[in-house]
Structure 1
């Protein structure tokens, strides 16, 4: 099939999963992935999913490849952390680490808009002078506090990407490490409700999307309660939503059984 986007509107996440499986199996672009650590066939497509009520049940389809308890634990870990610093640090990244313990440099906040090489060097010397004051940001708390003060704010954005680290995957200092798939989260308040927009660079539709979307809607619930508003819509956009070849038959079976009921 030609490379083209898929758009899914559904009443709940379980319905969205089945619709996306069907669309990706029928219309997904077939490609062979040659990554340094694996090679395989897959179908993929830029995918947009919208749920008008983020918490509408069922959020987990009965045939997702994990128990509900695993999804609940995963969501807790995203919002509150694993609760064991040593275990948390064993991972290349966690979403709790990126969204609630995000490292940034205060010096960078003073950086002006300069693009000429000579001006960049002068600015580096003037501002940095070999120093970097690292500060750790709880972006979730910052978003909550900002939207409490100003519910109309449209510039509340939570990011996971650390350019100097995540753009160096498979570089000389990082041979086999991973970078976060959830890159950006943007909450918006409208009609007295918190709407959540999530952007992912890649997403394994069969195995990971149900977990990711469940956790993000739990984060949405948590933030809405903290702000003091209702829960609104959930929008999930992925540049490369994919299905790996080894789950094609499983995906077709889920779709076939779901359409019968």
Structure 2
């Protein structure tokens, strides 16, 4: 979640979308695009925020969020880590995680992730663990306490292959589950 690495067979990763997203603007353009781009020279020269690879630039949203909270204050409401993109609508398997909104309240960094679809047994635990690790890292870098994750999804679900496991967790035996089907 915290690197821009993409392995063979992956069309995207959440980390890539957060820590290595395509940047339409070149570093020198910030001087002329004054109405739409952040003007702090420090951001445009920081290679942790603006990553250069093969003569192309990528934005590390996580590092920009950290910089912004540290340098612009904790009441900044625009620090949302975007994962979803309009072009995802044509993907066969678009990212389930759409964004992670952030807020510092009472000296604690809180994350508000939204998933369009979420596999309760396959994705939920791993996703929350990774998001928590990222939040802890960001809070430490900013110099605030670690806060809560308040996650939401319009489509939390269980796939067929784990129904029996889910029923066992609920306290039903496998035989009771099989009699229901």
Distance in 2 separating the partners of 1:246 and 1:237: 23
Distance in 2 separating the partners of 1:135 and 1:160: 17
Aligned to 1:212: 127
The residue correspondences of 1:163-182 to structure 2 (distance < 5 A) are: 163-164=86-87, 166-170=88-92, 178-182=93-97
Task: Tell me by how many angstroms 1:140 deviates.
Answer: 0.3
Task: Tell me by how many angstroms 1:239 deviates.
Answer: 1.4
Distance in 2 separating the partners of 1:89 and 1:249: 33
Task: Tell me by how many angstroms 1:179 deviates.
Answer: 1.8
Q: Is the 8 A contact 2:135 2:146 kept in 1?
A: yes
Q: Is the 8 A contact 2:118 2:153 kept in 1?
A: yes
Distance in 1 separating the partners of 2:22 and 2:3: 17
RMSD between superposed Cα atoms in Å: 2.3
Distance in 2 separating the partners of 1:81 and 1:256: 41
Q: Is the 8 A contact 1:92 1:179 kept in 2?
A: no
Task: Tell me by how many angstroms 1:249 deviates.
Answer: 1.5
Q: Does 1:202 align with 2:117?
A: yes
Distance in 1 separating the partners of 2:9 and 2:121: 25
Aligned to 1:227: 142
Extract structure 1 runs of 4+ deviating beyond 6 A: none
Count of residue pairs the alignment pairs up = 145
Correspondence for 2:11 among 89, 92, 109: 92
Aligned to 1:160: 83
SS of the counterpart of 1:187? strand
SS of the counterpart of 1:218? helix
Higher relative contact order (CA 8 A, sep 6+): 1
Unaligned runs of 5+ in 1: 1-77, 113-133, 171-177
Distance in 1 separating the partners of 2:82 and 2:133: 18
Q: TM-score, normalization: structure 1?
A: 0.51
Task: Tell me by how many angstroms 1:148 deviates.
Answer: 0.9
Q: Write the deviation string for residues 62-101 of structure 1: whole angstroms up to 9, x where unpaired.
A: xxxxxxxxxxxxxxxx12455xxxx625311111111000
